[in-house]
């Protein structure tokens, strides 16, 4: 007779309970660590839960490398994220199927991806911000939901299991993160830090949640019954598995000093609902049981959640529909083309005094200068795979030029070197860069950072604060380089490769054009070149505020949203959230609004009034009036990317949920607002956006 857990006609819950009932306590304990053991007598293979797919299958060899998430956020295109998620999980299944045939169950070989990172990029100094979808909870939730639905698929079995991280309010600093306590008001939690997690759980039905290293208002994020079992399971309806960040449970006793020893830490995490341990603390779970700190039923709850996930992935099915995906589906030309499309949508034109697009037919000489101009690391970001096709900016420009056009290249300066002894070495290409600039009809200068300057704790190889930035300035030698090149009097096109906002005040004043390239994936250099030479019009929008300097920012350790992001900024930004230029122009007209029981609908007509086919990102913001609590300046509540041929006009409906008309009081309670101003346009309705674009969004008062 076939055991119930192997009977594919039975519900997953019944199958999971049956398998659990057949396991000994030792066997159960062997399943709650990330590198779970095989149980041969039950046909359970060894499985490593830890894999990454931040923007492509990561750390497991050849795979398509899409733009870093902060760049994908700039596309304002959740349908694109769904396509990318589908491509990533298809590549992941193709690799997994082949590795399973070869009996390879090692690290980064599974189909449980600990991605995406949906923490709020609340402060541009945070080194890991480029892993996120920016500073806005609505945008983050939309992009995260699109990616998760693509990763997990829409069939009987999950193609892969996504995992949102890091719950909750975990946005730096990196230095000290293992003992950090995020102090956050109930209002800020409800309004800013929780919404994306709630949306990804309820709308995308994400299979996994990873807890952060931090405490939240004194509660361990991997050891809080009220956060895990109370908030996300009972209140939000989460039905998947909860995993600790790697080493986070060890922090309970070693850094947070909430428990006395490793056994107590294991017990607290298990009783609180942390199902899976990335680390080694759960090796002490049996000891915790022997000491009476936990019951077998506590372990059962963890194992049941894990078995359910494996069943949803089809691992106990004889013929899972995804098992037939062949290895040939990995790293395909079609996915490379999708990576190119994503990079084209993601890049943001911040300034253009008519220098762009370049006319390559009129150019006899072009200089490509800068430490990021021929850099592969800036293409890849972090948590990345290995691309088999890639284009740096230098490669991309070279591919666009005619053979008779002379191309000069100089590194110009070291990326970051700071010590006095290295001064001569760091500047030894400065005169070369100037010599090339003065001989060129066009100067393309590529500056910025790379993942060794902004990243995760322990990744940095410089004097930055544990991979966080100490300020928003360009590294010293890059600042000297941009000044020397601009002083030649040549028109300079600045391309910024970085995962966060920088202080670009000098460039805004002295460069003729600025293109934010981000960390654009394997096809990024080609995409940038296509934009620079006008094959495609730029259409990206900033998912973060570009401040004038860090002087506008509150202290890094302060988790209050007061003074942060476009919603609560004090003063005027250099480049606002939602901003980005195009090579064409768009006209908005005939705005209308209708309130409905579920929210409302906005209609608007958009016309491409320029001379080039292009995409436009329509953005809807709401400013709420409340007599009982404080509302933000205004909030993004809807967006849609539309493609318009020159002269074309489209009538677009944008549906708003009831949440668009709600604010939160100091206790985190949701308050409905009857009075609101609704804005529709190609940017947010702030004075700086109007100054930069020359356009004010349309507005209706309700």
Residues with catalytic roles: 245, 454
Pairing of strands 163-167, 208-211: parallel
192: DSSP letter: I
Q: How many CB atoms within 10 Å of residue 261?
A: 12
Query: How many residues in total does the chain contain?
Result: 702
Burial of 458 (0-12, 13-18, 19+ CB in 10 A): exposed
On whether the CB atoms of residues 77 and 580 are closer than 8 A, the answer is no
Instruction: Give the contacts of 168 (CB within 8 A, at least 6 positions apart).
Output: 189, 193, 194, 197, 212, 216, 221, 227
Q: Which of 98, 172, 132 is nearest to 322 (CA)?
A: 98
Separation of alpha carbons 382 and 92, rounded Å: 18
- CA dihedral sign of residues 535, 685, 563, 183: negative
Cα 279-453-576 angle, rounded to 5 deg: 110
Rg (the chain; Cα; Å): 26
Q: How many CB atoms within 10 Å of residue 93?
A: 26
The CA–CA distances, whole Å, from 230 to 187, 234, 236, 248, 285 equal: 18, 5, 9, 20, 23
529: DSSP letter: H
Taking the mean position of all CA atoms in its chain, how far away is CA 554? 23
Longest Cα–Cα distance of the chain, Å, equals 84
Pairing of strands 662-664, 670-672: antiparallel
The SS3 of residue 41 is helix
Q: Which of 288, 199, 185 is nearest to 562 (CA)?
A: 185
Instruction: Give the contacts of 573 (CB within 8 A, at least 6 positions apart).
Output: 545, 546, 547, 548, 552, 566, 688
Cα 666-668-673 angle, rounded to 5 deg: 85
Separation of alpha carbons 504 and 44, rounded Å: 55
The CA–CA distances, whole Å, from 485 to 218, 291, 415, 509, 577 equal: 51, 69, 16, 14, 29
Strand partners, 581: 349
DSSP labels for 587-650? EEEEEEEEEETTEEEEEEEEEE-SSS-EEEEEEEEEEEE-SSS---S-EEEEEEEEEE-TT-EE
Place of tokens 């100094």: 125
């Amino acid at each position: 007779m076939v055991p119930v857990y192997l009977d594919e006609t039975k519900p997953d819950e019944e199958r999971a309970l049956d398998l659990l009932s057949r396991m000994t306590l030792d066997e159960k304990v062997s399943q709650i660590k990330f590198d779970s053991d095989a149980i041969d007598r039950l046909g359970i293979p060894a499985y490593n839960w830890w894999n990454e797919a931040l923007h492509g299958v990561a750390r497991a060899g050849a795979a398509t490398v899409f733009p870093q998430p902060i760049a994908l956020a700039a596309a304002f295109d959740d349908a694109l994220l769904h396509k990318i998620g589908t491509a990533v999980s298809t590549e992941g299944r193709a690799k997994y199927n082949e590795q399973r045939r070869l009996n390879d169950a090692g690290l980064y070989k599974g189909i449980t991806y600990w991605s995406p990172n949906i923490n709020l990029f609340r402060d541009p100094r945070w080194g890991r911000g480029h892993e996120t979808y920016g500073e806005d909870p609505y945008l983050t939730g939309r992009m995260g939901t699109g990616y998760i639905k693509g990763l997990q698929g829409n069939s009987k079995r999950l193609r892969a299991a996504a995992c949102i991280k890091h719950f909750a309010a975990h946005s730096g600093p990196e230095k000290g993160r293992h003992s950090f306590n995020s102090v956050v008001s109930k209002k800020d939690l409800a309004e800013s830090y929780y919404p994306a997690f709630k949306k990804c759980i309820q709308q995308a039905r994400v299979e996994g949640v990873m807890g952060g290293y931090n405490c939240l208002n004194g509660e361990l994020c991997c050891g809080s019954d009220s956060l895990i079992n109370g908030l996300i399971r009972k209140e939000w309806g989460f039905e998947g598995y909860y995993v600790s960040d790697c080493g986070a449970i060890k922090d309970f006793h070693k850094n947070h000093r909430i428990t006395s020893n490793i056994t107590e830490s294991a017990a607290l995490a298990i009783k609180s609902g942390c199902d899976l341990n990335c680390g080694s603390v759960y090796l002490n779970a049996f000891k915790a049981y022997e000491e009476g700190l936990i019951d077998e039923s506590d372990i059962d709850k963890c194992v049941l959640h894990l078995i359910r996930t494996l069943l949803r992935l089809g691992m106990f099915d004889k013929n899972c529909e995804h098992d037939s995906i062949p290895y040939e589906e990995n790293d395909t030309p079609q996915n490379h083309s999708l990576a190119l499309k994503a990079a084209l949508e993601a890049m943001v034109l911040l300034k253009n005094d008519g220098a762009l697009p370049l006319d390559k037919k009129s150019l006899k000489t072009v200089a490509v200068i800068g430490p990021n101009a021929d850099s592969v690391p800036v293409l890849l970001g972090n948590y990345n795979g290995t691309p088999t096709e890639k284009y740096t900016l230098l490669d991309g420009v070279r591919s666009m030029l005619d053979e008779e056009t002379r191309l000069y290249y100089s590194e110009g300066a070291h990326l970051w070197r700071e010590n006095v002894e290295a001064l001569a070495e760091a500047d030894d290409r400065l005169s070369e860069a100037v010599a090339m600039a003065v001989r060129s009809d066009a100067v393309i200068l590529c500056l910025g950072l790379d993942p060794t300057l902004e990243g995760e704790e322990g990744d940095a190889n410089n004097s930055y604060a544990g991979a966080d930035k100490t300020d928003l300035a360009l590294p010293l030698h890059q600042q000297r380089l941009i000044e020397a090149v601009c002083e030649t009097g040549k028109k300079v096109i600045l391309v910024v490769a970085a995962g966060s906002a920088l202080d670009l005040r000098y460039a805004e004043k002295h460069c003729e054009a600025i293109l934010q390239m981000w960390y654009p994936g394997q096809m990024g250099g080609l995409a940038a070149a296509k934009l620079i030479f006008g094959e495609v019009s730029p259409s990206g929008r900033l998912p973060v505020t570009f401040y004038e300097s860090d002087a506008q920012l509150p202290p890094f350790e302060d988790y209050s949203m007061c003074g942060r992001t476009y919603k609560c900024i004090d003063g005027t930004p250099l480049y606002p959230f939602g901003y980005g230029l195009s090579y064409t122009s768009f006209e908005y007209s005939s705005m209308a609004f209708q309130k409905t029981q579920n929210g409302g609908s906005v209609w608007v007509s958009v016309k491409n009034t320029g001379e080039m086919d292009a995409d436009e990102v329509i953005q809807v913001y709401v400013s709420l009036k409340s007599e009982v609590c404080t509302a933000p300046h205004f909030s993004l509540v809807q967006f849609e990317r539309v493609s318009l041929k020159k002269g074309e006009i489209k009538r677009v409906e944008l549906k708003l949920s009831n949440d668009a008309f709600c604010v939160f009081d100091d206790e985190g309670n949701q308050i409905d607002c009857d009075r609101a101003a609704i804005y529709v346009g190609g940017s947010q309705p702030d004075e700086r956006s109007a100054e930069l674009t020359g356009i004010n969004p349309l507005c209706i008062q309700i």
